[in-house]
Structure 1
Amino acid sequence: MNSPDEAAVRAALSTVIDPELRRPIDELGMLADVALDGGRVTVRVLLTIAGCPLRGTIDADVRAALAAVPGVDKIAIELDVMTPEQRQALRDRLRPVRGIPFTRPESLTKVFAVASGKGGVGKSSVTVNLACELASRGLRVGVIDADVHGFSVPALMGITQGPTRVEDMILPPVAHGVKVISIGMFVTGNQAVAWRGPMLHRALEQFLTDVYFGDLDVLFLDLPPGTGDVAISVSQLLPSAQLLIVTTPQAAAADVAERAGSVSAQTGQRVAGVVENMSAMTLPDGSVLEVFGSGGGERVAARLSEVLDAPVPLLGKVPLDVALREGGDAGVPIVLRSPDSPSAAALKAVASRLASAPRGLAGRNLGVAPR
């Protein structure tokens, strides 16, 4: 058997992506050494921390990449750990400038703050399904669980591991192709978080500044219900974030959801649209059951269009569906678990409308200058 070509070996290794940073390991300085001895290839990989929870994934991915190279018949992988200096160099390479990356003039990330007037309308379920659907289409997507007191995103996404720290930078866990951060990843068990306004603001600010999401196409923030501290903090920290209002068809829920959207008149944010969740469901005999009534989504969209003097569309109606709840309990959102279900189809349609909305270039540096 011919010996493998070193260039081919290194080219294969350049396709190995770090599962947390979503960048090639050679680009991150994690590929410390490559040695060839006939058909035997020995690779030394530097992990960011000693207890890296995804060391097994990295090992398997390196082996899979090398196994495809002609001439490789034996693979030896040595997993070592970066020195503090190497970790600091990695942190500086990834985030050379402190601050919130999504507020920089060059950022093209679409930011959607998912809000509701009251709890229990399925706001978090809508958030994770939209995020997973967009990620399945190849977009780079992140989710911030900003509902500090009522966090639920990790469970809905099936995330059990915590984030990794590289110096003062936090690497969020990745599930279903989506990068996720939540205060629930920092508490023990089902411990309650009893924080007041200033601490809530600081937690959100730290998620935006210290968590490395990389270059995202879309960022979702799952807000707590109402128009309290976190909603105000989001308007201050991410003034360009668009609100996505979730309501049920019920008149009482629609009235409260209108308030959550109308706050944008004070903050200057744009309302991207309204999603009606728990809409009418079709029973096996073909009859339609409106458990929570009807018309809530239309009412909220119409009222907000009038209050804000700008068109606010009803993006879609997500029917009440047992499979939607089952997907959340299993940690696999319905757009992935039951993609052909009525609820999944409705959520996919909403995702399509969000994805097709253009990202504004007003005020952004395009890197050109007059001659």
Structure 2
Amino acid sequence: MDNSAVPEACPGVESANAGKGSACAGCPNQQLCASGEAAKPDPAIQQIRQRLEGVKHKFLVLSGKGGVGKSTFSAQLAFALAGLDHQVGLLDIDICGPSQPKMMGVEGEQVTQSSLGWQPVYPLDNLGVISIGFLLSNTAEAVIWRGPKKNGMIKQFLKDVYWGDGLDYLVVDCPPGTSDEHLSVTSYLSASKVDGAVIVTTPQEMSLLDVRKEINFCRKVGVPVLGVVENMSGFVCAKCGTETLIFHPSSGGAEKMCQEMDVPFLGRIPLDKELMECCEKGTPYLAGIHSHEDEGELAEQIQNEGVCRKAMRSVVQGMVDGLGAA
């Protein structure tokens, strides 16, 4: 189906007027829609369901705007889940702005193919990553694709990637907003029991405006909202402990918005230069089994974590607890 020249007044493939209305004149899909073939379910949806049967929990990470730390959160969430001894997959479907290869410390690696399917890149033994960034000739190469081509890439990732014998968690890092990629991934996963979506925002109303739209998008496409994370929620001075609200929550911040929209609030994560440094280096922000062989040393390090790490760990644990009850 050619989506490149679909008219704005398209009645939709499931409409009784599909291919027959005045708006359909000149559309390259007119005959296909009139025949009823376009309304048939995409066979890839069942292929994707079969491919992901071994994945216990699948969820999307969304944001209304870019620059709020969605990909940073996705990367460190994947690291943290792996650090809790889970089998984790991270799927980057931000086709035009893939950042996970850098954030996971595997920039320049290549995806390989086998008889079982595409093989993810593994920054850790129990953490696999897939991104279009692994398919580009260099990190500065621009991906200038229209919707249908991006959607085809997402379908191929979901259908053809072999995640091993099974995953405890599949984290899907989506681009900001509500566009083709979001419609495609929710459609392709419609038969695969998606647990829901986590939405990342910053405290100010300018960001929350679009989070409300993101919540309504999830409700329209039938994806539960697992909760909202308020990122960059103040800066805590390491020397004196004073908190400064860099992004002022002029309308009460994410927690108040969650109360108004009746969705869970997962917590606040303050700004921390060490978190930025971990993303630049592609290393885990939170200590886990991959960083300590001695359980006593790991427990002691967790006990002595600062405010920012404790906040991140609380959000991660809240998500794990919530998904366990789902």
Evaluate the alpha carbon distance shift between residue 259 and residue 299 of structure 1 in structure 2; reply closer, same or farther with a 3 A threshold: farther
Residues 1:343 and 2:291 aligned together: no
Distance 1:229 1:303, change over 3 A: farther
**Paired residue for 1:320?**
271
Q: 1:360 to 1:325 in 2, by over 3 A?
A: closer
User: Deviation per CA, 1:236-282, whole angstroms, max 9, x where unpaired?
Assistant: 01133211000001111011112112101210110000000000122
Distance 2:225 2:103 in 1: 25
- Structure 1's consecutive aligned runs of 4 or more residues displaced over 6 angstroms after TM superposition are none
Flag the 1:107–1:173 CA change in 2: closer, same or farther, 3 A.
closer
Question: Is contact 1:114-1:246 (8 Å) kept?
Answer: yes
Q: 2:75 is aligned with what amino acid? A: V
> Among 83, 90, 109, which residue is 2:56 paired with?
109
Equivalent AA in structure 1 for residue 282 of structure 2? G
Per-residue CA deviation, residues 122-177 of structure 1 (Å, 9 max, x unaligned), is 00010111111111111111000010111101100100311111147110011133
Q: Distance in 2 between matches of 1:342 and 1:131?
A: 20
Q: Structure 1 vs Structure 2: percent identity of aligned residues?
A: 35
Q: What amino acid does structure 2 have at the position aligned with 1:296? A: G
2-structure distance, mates of 1:229, 1:267: 13
Counterpart of 2:81 in structure 1 is 134
User: What residue identity is the alignment partner of 2:201?
Assistant: T
Q: 1:18 aligns to what?
A: none
Does 2:237 correspond to 1:290?
no
Match of residue 318, structure 2, among 335, 338, 353 = 353
Question: Is residue 120 of structure 2 the alignment partner of residue 172 of structure 1?
Answer: yes
Query: 1:299, CA displacement in angstroms?
Result: 3.4
Count of residues paired in the alignment: 257
Matching residue within 181, 186, 195 for 1:230: 181
Q: Secondary structure at the match of 1:109?
A: strand
Mapped to 1, the partners of 2:170 and 2:236 lie a distance apart of 33
Gaps of 5+ in 1: 1-97, 306-311, 362-371
Structure 1 residue 103 displacement after superposition? 7.6
CA displacement 1:205-257 (0-9 Å, x = unmatched) = 11111110131111111100000011111210113321100000111101111
Structure 2 partner of 1:184: 133
- Residue identity matched to 1:345: K
> Structure 2: which amino acid aligns with 1:136?
G
**Distance of aligned partners of 1:298 and 1:124 in 2 relative to their CA distance in 1, 3 Å threshold:** same
Report the CA distance between 1:313 and its aligned residue.
1.1
Letter in 1 for 2:257: V
Q: Tell me by how many angstroms 1:108 deviates.
A: 5.3
CA distance in 2, matches of 1:108, 1:209: 13
* Kept after mapping to 1: 8 A contact 2:93/2:154: yes
Matches within 5 A, 1:8-27: none
In 2, are the aligned partners of 1:131 and 1:142 still within 8 Å (CA)? yes
Q: Give the Cα–Cα distance (whole angstroms) in 2 for the partners of residues 296 and 111 of structure 1.
A: 27
1:304 shift after superposition = 2.7
- Structure with the greater relative contact order (CA < 8 A, sep ≥ 6): 1 or 2? 2
Alignment of 1:248-327 (within 5 A): 248-283=202-237, 284-294=239-249, 295-305=252-262, 312-327=263-278
Residues 108/159 of structure 1: CA separation in 2 closer, same or farther (3 Å cut)? closer
1:206 and 2:156 are equivalent in the alignment? yes
1:287 corresponds to which letter in structure 2?
Answer: T
Q: After the TM superposition, which of the residue ranges 334-343 and 255-264 deviates more from structure 2?
A: 334-343
In structure 2, how many angstroms separate the alpha carbons of the residues matched to 1:143 and 1:102?
18
- Distance across 2 between alignment mates of 1:238 and 1:348: 28
